[in-house]
């Protein structure tokens, strides 16, 4: 046929609401919902063939060339296809000849970038930076797209999002919703592929790998001829103005709709439209009954699911880089191997440090608490020159192990396992055991050296020198790092890149699947771009986490060049006001590039909030981290309430970076934090709503100490066939009870408005009924939070 059409959703609204040129969707009006739908029966003169003929012959009058092409295409279709979407060619009775009707909007070919189609589609978000850096999402992660879609005059339009995989195959088609008629802004939530938890070494991962790469989403604008007609027809029938022309036009429209391949109608749906067209064209019926044939819930449902789309105008395809499982949705657990299994020698009173072999117990603990990734600080030999002592003191005692970030000694550098921890075979065995437990191993890669590192002698040009030709140690005035030499990338960046690539490939072969990069923002962005490109070309499954706390521009650039996740400023966002601003930022447009990982504490970070709010504060921050971001992490010892600060610093006293910790893990049960962590990871795995950076809504709360937010994923994108909604309410005060009224905008969240919501607290199992406004009372000695799932 001369018109090209595809699939879209619309709802019929009260005709009196919209008289402007906006793109507001129209719902079925109250009077229509109660209108009698007449029995659909053939009318006496002409029946469906005449209506179909009028719908098709007018296209030949307006464009004979396209009609001829359509006939040729139609004649080549198979019998099966013809049954699904056929074009009527019956000869009309004389009584129906000569009735004129407006031609539908044609699809106008776009032959070069920048040309508009028949419908205008602009300002699509997320937008690629200079058309070079596509937005990043995890396989199966729901995300939001928006666009401006409009047409001239008061004609109604619709919009559809079409998702295609790297091979160009359409995998998803979803209608968009106009959320701001004044700005012609349309929104849709889509996903690229289906969520998976498969790890790179597991059976079946090859099928996941084939889905990774560059996907596209195209926004198709189109004229909503049915809604435009319905708006005017309701008015004309109501005021009895030019009724016959309006209804005849509607009959032709329904007949054309029934014959449109793009609508993808079933035989039953097509029959419904054909009968409706026959009834509407029957002049023996009253105007009200004729209108009701095309203005009723059955037709409205077809418009929702299989609309007639005229003048389809596709945008330029928007690219998305689809990454493997755990690139967005991940739970990290950090421990120091030298502290796992460490003991005190009863004879000497000295600490006997742990090893890679004794670290197996740390893997067991991480798996039992439900984490996905175990992150290890550097496991390389530690330098002796200027070695740091306890609490970062400048003088190390004879038994001080030094900081694992002072990398390199006469025993080796970044490609060597510290002999005090074990051998490369021990590390491979650790990775193998982690994989058996379903854990990935992330290794810290700090690109810095102690004065004893082999590179200092082999490649002196790789380091900055003072005028007196001595190498400068690292500093960030007033901070100084006397045990570290920083790399100078200006003399031989290509040589440094080649060496780093070699070392990373060595650890990948040993079992590492993720690198946590220390301070990547202090190295050239181009350096990381080259290294990550080279490593992932050979090992596309490798992920990179940036330990970067810096300016937004640098953070965005690091994400562009391949850092999949990033540390962020979450530890310092503790008040309700701060969190209400920060959560939508992390879970908004920034989340297409910078995947923030929420860590309540790290070896370098212990905030006053965690210090001052005890067990309740630890649980509050864990809830916020686990549900506030798809990616979160815990530094071990959190379960034991290790919250004493080093005086004058936002870090722990007796910092594990400078000494070996001997912990009594049997005490964890008395605090209950480990149980909370386990519950949070279980909730996250069970609920698709927890997996996306693009579905968080902050909720109104009447108390300044109570924060509330919701995560919602529609049924079409959960993979379960059911919508998933989580409502999180947190008492931010670790010492006092707080009460608040929590307001839910049920419409905005896509929740039922005609009945109470049955919600279940995933932390306690208790059930409640919620609605628009809901009373909550939380006491830190009882419940620090509700995590409510809508049943």
Q: Is 582 annotated as belonging to a binding site? A: no
Output DSSP code: residue 634.
E
Q: Which structure tokens are listed for 142?
A: 């729901």
Phi first, then psi, for residue 162 (nearest 5°) are -115, 120
Q: Which structure tokens are listed for 130?
A: 């200079």
Asked if residues 744 and 751 have their Cβ atoms less than 8 Å apart, the reply is: yes
Catalytic residue of the set 184, 248, 418, 547? 547
Asked if residues 273 and 257 have their Cβ atoms less than 8 Å apart, the reply is: yes
User: What is the pairing mode between strands 351-352 and 135-138?
Assistant: unpaired
Q: Which structure tokens are listed for 567?
A: 């540390």
Q: Is 483 annotated as belonging to a binding site? A: yes
Three-state SS at 459: coil
Active-site residue 269, yes or no?
A: no
Q: Which structure tokens are listed for 29?
A: 């009006």
Q: Is 592 annotated as belonging to a binding site? A: no
Other beta carbons less than 10 A from residue 426's beta carbon: 16
Other beta carbons less than 10 A from residue 187's beta carbon: 16
Asked if residues 139 and 195 have their Cβ atoms less than 8 Å apart, the reply is: yes
Q: Is 41 annotated as belonging to a binding site? A: no
How far is residue 161's CA from residue 174's CA, in Å, rounded to a whole number?
Answer: 5
| CA 523 to each of CA 447, 448, 490, 702, 777: distance values in angstroms, whole numbers, following the listed order | 9, 10, 11, 46, 49
Q: In the structure, how many helices (H) and strands (E) does the chain have?
A: 23, 33
Residue holding tokens 């799932």? 789
Asked if residues 170 and 163 have their Cβ atoms less than 8 Å apart, the reply is: yes
* Nearest CA among 385, 425, 427, 375 for reference residue 407: 385
Active-site residue 656, yes or no?
A: no
Residue holding tokens 């009724």? 243
Give the CA dihedral 335, 338, 343, 346, nearest 10 degrees: -150
Inter-helix orientation angle 64-75/47-62, to 10°: 130
How far is residue 180's CA from residue 318's CA, in Å, rounded to a whole number?
Answer: 22
Q: Is 388 annotated as belonging to a binding site? A: yes
Catalytic residue of the set 518, 530, 590, 642? 518
How far is residue 264's CA from residue 7's CA, in Å, rounded to a whole number?
Answer: 7
Q: Is 657 annotated as belonging to a binding site? A: yes
| CA 500 to each of CA 427, 448, 481, 506: distance values in angstroms, whole numbers, following the listed order | 19, 11, 22, 10
Q: Which structure tokens are listed for 96?
A: 């129906």
Asked if residues 604 and 656 have their Cβ atoms less than 8 Å apart, the reply is: no
Residue holding tokens 């058309």? 131
Residue holding tokens 């190295």? 523
Other beta carbons less than 10 A from residue 671's beta carbon: 17
Phi first, then psi, for residue 771 (nearest 5°) are -145, -140
Phi first, then psi, for residue 37 (nearest 5°) are -90, 115
Residues 6+ away with beta carbon under 8 Å from 438: 199, 367, 372
Which residue numbers belong to the known binding site for alpha-maltose 1-phosphate?
388, 448, 483, 519, 657-658
Tell me which residues are annotated as active site.
518, 547
Which residue numbers belong to the known binding site?
388, 448, 483, 519, 657-658
């Amino acid at each position: 046929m001369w018109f090209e059409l595809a699939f879209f959703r619309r709802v019929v609204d009260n005709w009196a609401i919209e008289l402007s040129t906006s793109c507001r969707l129209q719902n079925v009006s109250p009077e229509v919902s109660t209108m009698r739908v007449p029995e659909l029966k053939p009318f006496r003169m002409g029946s469906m063939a005449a209506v179909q003929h009028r719908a098709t012959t007018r296209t030949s009058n307006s464009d004979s060339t396209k009609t001829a092409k359509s006939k040729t295409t139609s004649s080549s279709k198979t019998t099966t296809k013809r049954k699904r979407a056929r074009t009527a060619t019956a000869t009309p009775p004389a009584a129906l000849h000569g009735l004129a009707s407006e031609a539908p909007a044609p699809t106008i070919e776009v032959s070069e970038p920048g040309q508009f189609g028949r419908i205008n589609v602009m300002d699509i978000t997320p937008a690629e930076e200079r058309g070079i850096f596509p937005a990043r999402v995890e396989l199966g992660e729901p995300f939001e797209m928006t666009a401006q879609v409009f047409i001239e005059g008061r004609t109604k339009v619709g919009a559809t999002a079409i998702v295609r995989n790297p091979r160009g195959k359409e995998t998803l088609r979803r209608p968009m919703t106009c959320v701001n008629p004044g700005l012609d802004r349309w929104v849709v939530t889509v996903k690229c592929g289906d969520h998976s938890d498969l790890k790179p070494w597991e059976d079946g991962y090859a099928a996941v790998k084939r889905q990774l790469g560059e996907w596209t989403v195209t926004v198709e604008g189109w004229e909503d001829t049915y809604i435009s007609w319905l708006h005017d027809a309701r008015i004309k029938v109501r005021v009895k103005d030019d009724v016959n022309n309006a209804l005849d036009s509607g009959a032709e429209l329904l007949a054309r709709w029934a014959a449109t391949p793009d609508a993808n109608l079933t035989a039953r749906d097509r029959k419904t439209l054909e009968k409706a067209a026959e009834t509407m064209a029957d002049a023996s019926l009253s105007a009200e009954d004729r209108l009701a044939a095309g203005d009723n819930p059955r037709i409205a449902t077809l418009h929702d699911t299989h609309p007639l789309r005229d003048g389809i105008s596709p945008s330029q395809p928007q690219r998305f880089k689809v990454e493997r499982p755990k690139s967005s949705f991940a739970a990290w657990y950090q421990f120091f191997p030298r502290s796992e299994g460490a003991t005190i020698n009863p004879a000497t009173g000295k600490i006997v440090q742990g090893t890679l072999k004794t670290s197996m117990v740390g893997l067991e603990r991480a798996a039992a608490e439900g984490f996905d990734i175990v992150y290890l600080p550097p496991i390389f030999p530690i330098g002796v020159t200027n070695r740091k002592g306890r609490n970062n003191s400048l003088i190390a005692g004879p038994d001080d192990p030094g900081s694992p970030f002072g990398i390199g000694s006469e025993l080796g550098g970044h490609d060597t396992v510290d002999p005090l921890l074990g051998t490369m075979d021990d590390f491979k065995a650790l990775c193998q055991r982690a994989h058996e437990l379903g854990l990935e191993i992330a290794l810290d890669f700090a690109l810095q050296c102690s004065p004893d590192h082999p590179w200092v002698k082999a490649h002196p040009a790789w380091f900055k020198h003072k005028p007196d030709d001595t190498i400068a140690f690292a500093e960030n005035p007033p901070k100084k790092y006397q045990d570290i030499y920083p790399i100078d990338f200006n003399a031989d960046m290509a040589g440094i890149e080649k060496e780093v690539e070699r070392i990373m490939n060595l650890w990948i072969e040993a079992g590492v699947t993720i690198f946590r990069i220390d301070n990547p923002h202090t190295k050239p962005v181009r350096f990381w771009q080259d290294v990550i490109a080279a490593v992932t070309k050979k090992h596309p499954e490798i992920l990179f986490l940036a330990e970067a706390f810096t300016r937004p521009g640098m953070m965005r650039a690091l994400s562009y060049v391949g850092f999949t996740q990033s540390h962020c400023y979450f530890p310092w966002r503790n008040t309700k006001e701060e969190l209400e601003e920060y959560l939508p930022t992390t879970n908004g447009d920034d989340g297409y590039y910078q995947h923030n990982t929420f860590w309540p504490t790290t070896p370098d970070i212990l905030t006053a909030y965690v210090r001052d709010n005890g067990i309740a504060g630890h649980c509050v921050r864990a809830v916020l981290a686990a549900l506030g971001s798809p990616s979160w992490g815990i530094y071990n010892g959190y379960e034991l309430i290790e919250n004493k600060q080093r005086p004058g610093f936002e870090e722990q006293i007796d910092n594990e970076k400078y000494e070996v910790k001997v912990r009594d893990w049997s005490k964890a049960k008395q605090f209950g934090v480990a149980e909370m962590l386990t519950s949070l990871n279980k909730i996250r795995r069970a609920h698709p709503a927890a997996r996306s950076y693009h579905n968080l809504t902050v909720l109104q709360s009447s108390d300044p100490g109570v924060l509330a937010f919701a995560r919602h994923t529609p049924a079409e994108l959960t993979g379960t066939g059911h919508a998933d909604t989580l409502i999180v309410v947190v008492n931010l005060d670790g010492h006092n009870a707080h009460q608040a009224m929590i307001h839910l905008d049920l419409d905005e969240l896509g929740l039922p408005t005609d009945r109470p919501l049955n919600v279940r607290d995933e932390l306690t199992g208790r059930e409640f009924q919620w609605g628009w406004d809901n009373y909550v009372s939380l006491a830190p000695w009882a419940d620090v939070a509700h995590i409510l799932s809508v049943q």
